[in-house]
Structure 1
Amino acid sequence: MHRSHARTTLSRALGMALLGLASSAAMAQEATTPQAQDAAPPSPADTQVTELDRVQVSGYRSSVQFSTDAKRDSTGFTDSIFAEDIGKFPDMNIAESLQRIPGIQLSRDVNGEGLNVAIRGLPNSFTTTVVNGAPVATASIGLNAQNQNREVDLNLFPTEFFTQLTVNKTPKASLPEGGIAGVVDMRTARPFDRPGTHVTYQLQGTYNDNVDKLTPQGSVLGSWTNDAGTFGVLVGVTSTRGKIGVEGYETVGWTNPGLNYTQCGLAPPAGVDGSAVRPAECNAGGGGNWLIPNTVPDNASTIGAGLTPGALIDRDALLALNPGLSIEQISDALIPRLSRPVHMSGDRERDAAVASLEWRPNEYARFYLDTMFSKARRTNDRIDINLVGRNFGADGMIPINMQVDANGVVTDATFSNAQFFLEARPYIEDVKYWSVNPGASFLFGDEGMIKLDVQANASRSWMFRESPTILVNSPRTTLQYSNTGSEPTWTTDLDLNDPNAGWTWAGGRVNVQNEKRVTETKGARADLQFGEDRSNIRVGVAYDENRRTIQGFDNSEAWQSEVLSKISDADLVNYLRPGPYGFITADFDAFKNATNYGQYSDSAPESAGPNTGGSTGGFEEKTFGAYIEINGEGEVMNRTLRFNAGVRYVTTDQDVSGPVTIAGVRQWQTLKGDYDEYLPSFNAAWDVADNVVLRFSGSRTMTRPNPSSMLPNTTFTDLSALNASQGNPNLTPYVSTNFDLGGEWYTGGEGMIGLSLFNKRIEGYTYQGTNTIPFSQLGIPYADLTPDQQSAIAARGGPDAATVIVQQQVNADATVNVRGWELIWVQPLDFLLDGLGIMANYTDIDLSTEGNDADQLTGNLYGIAPKLWNATAYFERGPFSVRASYNHTDAIVGTGPNQQGIPYAQIIGESRGQWDLSASYTLENVWSKPQITLNVVNLTGETQRSNFWYSNAVNDIYDPGRTIMLGLRGSF
């Protein structure tokens, strides 16, 4: 374990503070007035009813008021979003709701749907997500996502089931560990949230202008409590039948020519083939994935372009074909590796159910059972047409009259010997998630001053995706290429939408690639509180298990053999169709049926990993935690000071397993690891004036390492078993020392102005390094080695003495500093117009590194916007309500340098803003008071774009379209 001086000092300081505050809390408890001691404590039922009577206030403005009140009452740095009523969350997507909180960055899928959230400059895997206090894990992934770490996809959870979201940016000892960035707590509806008998219904039609179809969704939630207030039931169902329609453009990076000695005009060394070797001095700009032919190929394309088949393409020829350019400019000329328009269309179906039971036999006991189930079926007919710029068997495009800008980006050219390929992938994905969460609360003692909370939880999420690929190639052609800065375009005489254009299997392929994921969680926790809610001592224990497996399956070789035996080039035309986007597509069903696709898919053997880029493998973590926490109140300068202090201890045992191939034999290997941490925390809120609160927090937090970095994947890179690559099961957690300072001025009603400063010093970040360890610690049986490797190990002293140099992820001897500030402003504007108000927030983040391995962390600190802000203007009066929201994310450095072998190149996500609109009108004199709702997502149709370093070298663009939702909601 890495232990810094700063961490040790903080632990000691908070430990001393904890002892002192425990004494203060005890004295405060003893000093309780006799009247307070004599009064019976409010029962859980009374407390709940009182709290949720407030929630019955209708209107979006009331949900803003609840958020303001919750922030004011909190001791730490928290932000909450409330539903004004059961089944009526203020946003159409939970992730979109969280985006309105300062410091939250939303990760969107390519169809514009919110997936994950990141907090305060850290990756979304640094966020812990809990539902009703229990940790959550999901198996789903996005359309273009990998989710190899600890991300939680929020699009599985219907907003109708939730009443409150809380983001804890600073920890308490009683909160689950695992989130350096913060803890997102999602609270589902329960029957006593609204005593009595109630039914809420919602029907909605959704239209996306890329899909041009209307799709339905609906939900019903009903709750009942008996007259005695002792028992309640809540059940709800929701169903969505949606469509996706994404128009986009992708490049998979950019590249430049890899010139050989002959083409760059240098004499090769003696014995070196000048037409085959591509020396660094000819390709100073790196890259080199575009290979220009050594001689002019003999085809209709080159002949039509006026080239002579068989003619040598040397330096002089390239200069003659591209007047005005030097050979250095030709060598550095940037084009897309694959210039491909891409289109996605398909179904997004989701059905979900929620149920909650509450039993309150008396004022001293409460029992509950929360359950939720969600399943989704998603299809995606993804098709793209690719202009090939990358290495294609040393037979790539020949540039003619090429023009480049100052950065080397090709702006105009004629390309001969060009070729396209169709890539058709009909994804089918099924996802399921269920969770069950029983628990109970008990009050003990004559005054009910001892409270016991117990809870158990279990969940399982399962995903299976099949994504076959059909790839066929076009004849060679000559085209006019242009790049004006938005995205490259071309014109060609080849009709790409004609199935009879001469498509061929030469250079093509088919794939059977499936992926299965399973996540499971289970656990139990118990919390014992001595004292009142504001002045108490709490102790607790928790046990959690978390399992995940990812498996790839591939049967491409066998299926391709059958495809080629049954469908010749001449037969291809029978399985190709004109497409809706100007290029062909495949008749997927006919193609699958003719080639026994189902048989090959069902029998696909396990592979090294799925086509999403992950690795086959899994992990199991068993965690035990215990904590003590003090909550109290006192007075400083006649002003109330609220505080929370505690320490959490956590220990984790893990098994990480995956397939390895040793001596030609594939087998699963399991690596073991363990670690433990003490995590102290302190929060204080001081009411320095009637409407001003100052806050301070200091803490240590942890995030567990990436399971994908710990998978075995053991491979020897030499015959002597001296060098190997392997996952690292001994990775220690990321541990952060945190300080937060801030405060708010509450201006009246829902109004407030708040400022927060935060500083995180994170140790334990990982990078690809080396460890020298004994062979016996690799977890590989000596008998499984080849005879040569066994001899080499024996010569070095045997398995226990012989060491191996292992390439693997290691913890850096460095600190990552995350510093920033947040500003939030909520302001009713009734003095201008009754019912008018605004809310806005701004976050500024700075990342830096220090320490011996600081340079090694390059490439690990990307994907976070340095500036985020959003603003909402709302108007609510009588039955009418409307609000317009704008969210802006600054430009994001998405990767480290050296993309596609070009040293300076990084992927840059362009800054993006999105307008959303929501309006409603309530028919107050009609039964159930139905409310007509209108929501417009991405009002102005903004695209998502990233660039390959230069603004006119687009990496990808996705247009999710504008989505309009018209609905009816009522309650009775």
Structure 2
Amino acid sequence: MVPVLPSRAPRALTLALRRLPVAQACALLMLGASGAHAQSAAPPESAASAPRPGANPGTNPGANPGTKPNEAKRDSDAALETVVVTGIRRSVEDSIAVKRNASSIVEAVSSEDIGKLPDVTVAESLGRVSGVATQRDKVSGKASGVSVRGMSPSFNGSLLNGREQASTSDARSPEFDLFPAELTSSLLVYKTPDPSLVGQGLASTIDLRTIRPLDYAKRSVAISGRKERIGVGSGTEAGDGHRAGLVYVDQFSDRRIGLALGLSSLREDNGGELKFDNWGGYAPKVDYQGQQVTVPGGFLAETSKRKTERDGAFVTLQFKPNADFKTTADLFWSRGNETTKKTGIEGAIAFGTGPYDPNGALTNATIVDGVANAGTISNYKADVRNHVYGSKDRLLSLGLNSELRTGDWRWEGDIAHSRGVKDISNYETTAGQPGNTPESQLGSISWTGFNGNNFGDVKYTPSLNYADRNVAVLTDVAGWGGGVNSPQAGYVALPRITDQVDSLRFVAHHDAGWGPIAGTRFGANFTKRDKARTGQEGRLYILGGDGYASVPVPGSETGIAGPTGIPVVSFDPTGTLGSIYGINRWVDSTVLARDWSVREKVATVFAMADLAGDLGPLPYTGNVGFQVVNTRQRSTGNQVDLANCTGITVETCPYVERSEGDNYTRFLPSMNLTLDLGSQQLLRFGAGKQLARPNLDNMKASLDFQVQNATSVSPALTGFAGNPKLKPYEAWALDLSYEKYFGRHGYISTAVFYKKLENYVINAPRGFDFAPFVSANTPLPTTGPFKDSTVGFLTQPMNGQGGNMKGVEVSVNLPLNMLSSWLDGFGTSLNYSYTDSSVRLPTSGFVTPQNGPVFKDSVPEIGLPGLSKRVATVRLYYEKNGWQLAWAAHRRSDFIGQILDYRSDSQFTFIKSETIVDMQLGYEFQTGWLKGLSVLLQGHNMTNAPFQEYTTDPNVVTNKVKYGKTYRLGLNYKF
């Protein structure tokens, strides 16, 4: 693209800034306190090139060595004509340029225009990349988790402008929905290790980038707005929402100062989502007329209504007084509030689930092949659920970055701070018949259409009207607290997650070459991370009464229990603590084990040589080097004194805080080599050692145990603990990639990769003597081979052997006018990957008192979480004369996903394969007084694909959530 002269700031402002000594003093101060490793954004006004890791922000990495593009513009004597490429073609061409010019194997997604990433969320945009699959959040239905090459999201290194970030979840990586797409300029996915890339992951390193204002040729302002219709076709009422964004980019003082800022705001009301859970396919046998027949075991059906708010902002200030010095300051801020109200019904059908829930008898049954296709069971006690789950999160990221050139040396430094906080509030209430209701007054439940497997298709009809406030009252329905002396009319949990990451980095570049070495760099990075989870929880009870107490449900609102259509009473329990409910706070080993903190101090030293030369007749480029990483970790956790514990209060169950840690050093060599085969063909090779630190909640210094029936020789004392001495995951990686380019407009590539997982973290039970932690008051097994024994089983994260991973990736990104001029304006992007792994993990390692996976007791071992063997993306688009049309389909096969349970604890589940289809139609006015205005219509999940879980058989769905389709109508205006 031909450069243009920059627009000039107003003369008075320009002169004022030139004369302002404070600006220069600030720049020198920033240099003394900082330095840079932040990645430079793809230049928005020219074909982008991928910067090497460690490239300083604001530099055009595609420029010739020694050329300063902004200075060249200042020295131009006349404006040159600009040919501007925008929209889908610009995003495609910039992404291709990044991939082609990178020294490592990378994938990229670039914005279609300022403040306009191709998708609504960052995670959706990453889903375009070869070898990348997204997981939808079970609550919202939006893409949030990102798996690369068949590994779970926790194996990715996640950066913002080249810096590690705090997260607001139990995991290390930040949740991608915290980063509004309107405020993101480009995304880079590094698939091979690089010696100068700090914060790398085992699967990939994902770098999100915001705008660098001095990369722009002139002032730019973009305003966007969207109106949304959410949950269309979900089976319940549709919701709505709106989002707005503003991005401003400008240059002052003869382009010595650059300023970019962005604002984003989102408000959504999803209307409703229908959920049906058949309790893992539970289908017991009961006696009927002298034979055993299969009946439905129970179900949960509910309607979820969710409201979401998200605001974000970024500010970037650059100062470049001359060709040898520049500094960049970044600020990114995001805050979100989400509230989900769930209204539904849950209950066992044949057998009771608590002391107040008696077993029932089957009558009026129609039996087909041993299955009660229809029937009625007595003594049905339904729990009407009115639950409210809320969360508030905040993320702040600050960075200061400077570079000074002295001869052949460039000196960089970076100082950064990131802090995330998330407050979660879970309120659950139950309504129904009190625990002392006589069996003669209990209702029944009937069903039709059951064949033994099709739980979600069955028609259920209870005999009682649970929308009647005389029938369904707030009370302890089933006696889940244990009985009249420990009522549980609800539950409340208030966890808080805090995370803070501080880093300091220094890098020295020597740009002079010697033989095959084109340049060298040396650096050191120091990072300190403090993360903690704290909170309280307990049972709710009705104020002023005994264990059977009840009060009417407030208000007159009713709702529908998910796809069953059963009407139920509905109310919002917010504010009822203290007026209707009291709380018996739980202080026992299980609850206290959830509180933990972890501190990490990581020092990384690296050295790298850039390579350039000829291998016979073939030119090559690349890099080779190493990192030495030293980690010091220490964690705390609560250890209950079970030798003296007689209750669930602080007075009756004392505890102490344990603290333990470890340190280790790892040597990580790596190499990347690119051979130019001619005719725009590249052959890339990458090899290196990689590591990923375990999730921080696995490192907690806590231990709790109790008698459980979770072992094959049950009952036995069974305990769960973290491991403060846990070492990282480690792997050797090999990559080979072939790429064929067609100018700057398209490419075809294929890649194969192999990872040898040497050190994998495995949760597995082992024999353990709990004698130091028990007393005469501690319950011991009363039957079986472990009767009265303190020897049992402790499940704890341990470092063990891993296994192999291998895969193949194929990508095609082409404009179709290469085939025929009749197809001018059309283009396609096709990605396919196949990944397999020999790693097998014991299911028992994922079972804790808080969160047993849904396949517990059904599957003895599982493969890698996050691994879909097959992932494919197809995208077709048309762009010409201002018109834009795009259609995309994303497909991933079955996989093991990580979700949050009702206590906001992570658990694993089998998720059924899914295909998500999106569409986009837009028009941009290119002439006249409307020039710069574009209209956009988007459709997401056009096939209304549901989120589906299963236990062993993918054809037997145990949990199903329908999110419906989402439509967005938007306007963008750039000037």
CA displacement 1:441-476 (0-9 Å, x = unmatched):
12111xxx2122211111111111211111123542
> For the residues of structure 2 that align with 1:755 and 1:692, how far apart are their CA atoms?
12
> For the residues of structure 2 that align with 1:695 and 1:404, how far apart are their CA atoms?
64
> For the residues of structure 2 that align with 1:531 and 1:80, how far apart are their CA atoms?
26
C-alpha deviation, 1:955, in angstroms: 1.4
Task: Determine whether 1:425 maps to 2:425.
Answer: no
Contact kept in structure 1, 2:221 and 2:247, CA below 8 Å: yes
Distance change in 2, residues 1:205/1:415 (3 Å): same
Contact kept in structure 1, 2:761 and 2:800, CA below 8 Å: no
CA displacement 1:881-913 (0-9 Å, x = unmatched):
1111000111225599xxxxxxxxx95422110
Task: Determine whether 1:102 maps to 2:130.
Answer: yes
| Residue of structure 1 in register with 2:937 after alignment | 934
Distance change in 2, residues 1:100/1:49 (3 Å): farther
Q: 1:194 aligns with which of 209, 216, 227?
A: 216
- Secondary structure of 1:584's counterpart equals strand
> For the residues of structure 2 that align with 1:254 and 1:70, how far apart are their CA atoms?
48
Unaligned runs of 5+ in 1: 1-38, 141-147, 259-291, 293-317, 790-802, 897-905
Contact kept in structure 2, 1:387 and 1:418, CA below 8 Å: yes
| Residue of structure 1 in register with 2:99 after alignment | 71
Q: 1:222 aligns with which of 243, 248, 253?
A: 248
- What are the within-5 Å matches in structure 2 for residues 49-448 of structure 1? 57-110=85-138, 111-140=140-169, 148-208=170-230, 209=232, 211-244=237-270, 245-257=272-284, 318-320=287-289, 322=291, 327=292, 330=293, 333=294, 335-336=296-297, 338-389=298-349, 391-393=352-354, 395-400=358-363, 412-445=374-407
CA displacement 1:785-810 (0-9 Å, x = unmatched):
86999xxxxxxxxxxxxx99982435
> For the residues of structure 1 that align with 2:969 and 2:704, how far apart are their CA atoms?
56
Task: Determine whether 1:676 maps to 2:665.
Answer: yes
C-alpha deviation, 1:191, in angstroms: 1.6
| Residue of structure 2 in register with 1:688 after alignment | 677
> For the residues of structure 1 that align with 2:887 and 2:624, how far apart are their CA atoms?
40
> For the residues of structure 2 that align with 1:850 and 1:860, how far apart are their CA atoms?
5
**What TM-score comes out, normalization by structure 1 length?**
0.78
- Secondary structure of 1:657's counterpart equals strand
| Residue of structure 2 in register with 1:507 after alignment | 478
Contact kept in structure 2, 1:56 and 1:84, CA below 8 Å: no
Distance change in 2, residues 1:749/1:174 (3 Å): closer
Contact kept in structure 1, 2:723 and 2:798, CA below 8 Å: no
> For the residues of structure 1 that align with 2:753 and 2:533, how far apart are their CA atoms?
36
The number of equivalent residue pairs is 816
Q: 2:618 aligns with which of 623, 628, 639?
A: 639
Q: Kindly provide the amino acid, as one letter, of the partner of residue 864 in structure 2.
A: L
Task: Determine whether 1:588 maps to 2:572.
Answer: yes
> For the residues of structure 2 that align with 1:405 and 1:152, how far apart are their CA atoms?
52
Task: Determine whether 1:551 maps to 2:531.
Answer: no
Distance change in 2, residues 1:568/1:413 (3 Å): same
Distance change in 2, residues 1:970/1:124 (3 Å): same
> For the residues of structure 1 that align with 2:216 and 2:371, how far apart are their CA atoms?
62
In terms of fraction of residues, the more helix-rich structure is 1
Contact kept in structure 2, 1:57 and 1:84, CA below 8 Å: no
Q: Kindly provide the amino acid, as one letter, of the partner of residue 277 in structure 2.
A: E
Task: Determine whether 1:881 maps to 2:884.
Answer: yes
- Secondary structure of 2:838's counterpart equals strand
> For the residues of structure 2 that align with 1:456 and 1:409, how far apart are their CA atoms?
67
- Secondary structure of 2:495's counterpart equals strand
> For the residues of structure 2 that align with 1:614 and 1:409, how far apart are their CA atoms?
43
> For the residues of structure 2 that align with 1:428 and 1:724, how far apart are their CA atoms?
31
CA displacement 1:828-877 (0-9 Å, x = unmatched):
11224210010010010111149999999933623421100011001000
> For the residues of structure 2 that align with 1:854 and 1:738, how far apart are their CA atoms?
29
| Residue of structure 1 in register with 2:522 after alignment | 539
- Secondary structure of 2:96's counterpart equals helix
Q: Kindly provide the amino acid, as one letter, of the partner of residue 682 in structure 1.
A: M
C-alpha deviation, 1:672, in angstroms: 1.0
Distance change in 2, residues 1:395/1:725 (3 Å): same
Identity %: 22
Q: Kindly provide the amino acid, as one letter, of the partner of residue 601 in structure 2.
A: K
C-alpha deviation, 1:576, in angstroms: 6.0
CA displacement 1:78-125 (0-9 Å, x = unmatched):
001111322111111100000000111101113221111011011110
- Secondary structure of 1:588's counterpart equals coil
> For the residues of structure 2 that align with 1:731 and 1:461, how far apart are their CA atoms?
24
Q: 2:68 aligns with which of 26, 33, 43?
A: 43
> For the residues of structure 2 that align with 1:753 and 1:892, how far apart are their CA atoms?
28
Distance change in 2, residues 1:489/1:544 (3 Å): farther
Contact kept in structure 2, 1:48 and 1:192, CA below 8 Å: no
Task: Determine whether 1:713 maps to 2:709.
Answer: no
> For the residues of structure 2 that align with 1:334 and 1:907, how far apart are their CA atoms?
24
Q: Kindly provide the amino acid, as one letter, of the partner of residue 246 in structure 1.
A: E
> For the residues of structure 2 that align with 1:578 and 1:970, how far apart are their CA atoms?
44
| Residue of structure 1 in register with 2:756 after alignment | 761
Distance change in 2, residues 1:752/1:865 (3 Å): same
Q: Kindly provide the amino acid, as one letter, of the partner of residue 571 in structure 2.
A: D
C-alpha deviation, 1:519, in angstroms: 1.1
| Residue of structure 2 in register with 1:9 after alignment | none
Task: Determine whether 1:746 maps to 2:741.
Answer: yes
C-alpha deviation, 1:177, in angstroms: 3.9
| Residue of structure 2 in register with 1:616 after alignment | 595
* Cα RMSD, aligned residues only: 3.6
Q: 1:560 aligns with which of 518, 541, 544?
A: 541
Contact kept in structure 1, 2:698 and 2:797, CA below 8 Å: no
Contact kept in structure 2, 1:55 and 1:85, CA below 8 Å: no
Q: Kindly provide the amino acid, as one letter, of the partner of residue 198 in structure 1.
A: S
> For the residues of structure 2 that align with 1:48 and 1:808, how far apart are their CA atoms?
64
C-alpha deviation, 1:716, in angstroms: 6.4
C-alpha deviation, 1:962, in angstroms: 0.8
- Secondary structure of 1:735's counterpart equals strand
Tell me whether 239-248 or 129-138 shows the greater mean CA deviation: 239-248
CA displacement 1:249-275 (0-9 Å, x = unmatched):
1234233448xxxxxxxxxxxxxxxxx
| Residue of structure 2 in register with 1:837 after alignment | 827
| Residue of structure 2 in register with 1:525 after alignment | 505
| Residue of structure 2 in register with 1:277 after alignment | none
- Secondary structure of 1:926's counterpart equals helix
| Residue of structure 2 in register with 1:902 after alignment | none
> For the residues of structure 2 that align with 1:631 and 1:670, how far apart are their CA atoms?
44
Q: Kindly provide the amino acid, as one letter, of the partner of residue 633 in structure 1.
A: A
Q: 2:446 aligns with which of 479, 486, 490?
A: 479
C-alpha deviation, 1:488, in angstroms: 3.4
Q: Kindly provide the amino acid, as one letter, of the partner of residue 915 in structure 2.
A: G
> For the residues of structure 2 that align with 1:410 and 1:69, how far apart are their CA atoms?
63
> For the residues of structure 2 that align with 1:561 and 1:170, how far apart are their CA atoms?
58
**What TM-score comes out, normalization by structure 2 length?**
0.77
| Residue of structure 1 in register with 2:810 after alignment | 823
> For the residues of structure 2 that align with 1:432 and 1:49, how far apart are their CA atoms?
41
> For the residues of structure 1 that align with 2:816 and 2:214, how far apart are their CA atoms?
34
Q: Kindly provide the amino acid, as one letter, of the partner of residue 416 in structure 1.
A: S
C-alpha deviation, 1:335, in angstroms: 3.5
Distance change in 2, residues 1:749/1:362 (3 Å): closer
C-alpha deviation, 1:195, in angstroms: 3.7
